[in-house]
Amino acid sequence: MKIIKVQNNEEAGLKAAEIFKKEIKNNPKCVLGLATGSTPKTTYKHLIKFHKHNDLDFSDVKTFNLDEYYPIKKENIQSYHYFMHIKLFDHINVKPENVNIIDGECDDYQKSCDDFEKMIEENPIDIQLLGIGSNGHIAFNEPNTPFTQKTHLVQLTESTINDNARFFDHHEEIPLHALTMGLATIMKAKKIVLIATGKNKANAVKHMIQGDKTPLCPASILQDHSDCTIIVDEEAAELIEE
Ligand code: F6R
């Protein structure tokens, strides 16, 4: 794992956006794996800036998102579909047919998961952006998810539901399930960039980098990835031993 230490989320976002820019410049037809949540907002802000300054063309890029709540309508402002359009896709020239977000409205979730996994097999992800949950989850792979898991339905844990409560007006609106790339799906990405910022990520970061490799901390599987960069701010890096 390559560790890049930065001061705060703003700087982390710029670093990650620069890595993504380099990837897209090297291969304009590359396949991006994208994340939602608070962490990647600054990354998307910088990617939009690069695009607006005529310096980054997304016209041949394909994207796959890590996850989506289930069930949820695309137009629900809490859906990850909505988030991605507002925070990134509406501001760049990615083609709608090149955007892949798992369908949170489907009846047959197993079919959606299998189709999504197959699409990724056919379009291998060149670079995957990740955040990390305070319990060590990546995408919605909660603690105890087998490392071999592909795209699947998950029941969200109490810890994740509470972490996500800040995005919802009423607690009962928070979805209890999600569809997510599995850990095996994520590990197939050729390159991974994980951003961790803020004090509440410090324990998870310590375990991911220096703890045992165990499904108790799903992010610890990244220790086995051959090209994984962790961008970490001062607060999230607090418990890392030098
Ligand atoms: C989002 C995702 C999640 C988040 C994680 C951190 O697509 O897959 O694993 O990356 O929950 O969320 P934030 O960034 O809101 O702290």
pLDDT in tens, 178-219: 999 999 999 999 999 999 999 999 999 999 999 999 999 999
Report the atom number in ligand 1 closest to the C-alpha of 80. Answer: 7
Q: Is 135 a catalytic residue?
A: yes
Q: Is the peptide bond before 218 cis (omega within 30 degrees of 0)?
A: no
What pTM was estimated for this model as a whole?
0.96
What pLDDT digit, counting tens, does each position of 12-35 carry? Answer: 999 999 999 999 999 999 999 999
- Amino acid (1-letter code) at residue 54: N
Q: Which helix (H) or strand (E) holds 207?
A: helix 202-210
Separation CA 53–CA 60 (nearest Å): 18
Ligand 1 within 6 A of CB of 66: yes
Task: Tell me the β-bridge partners of 155.
Answer: 177
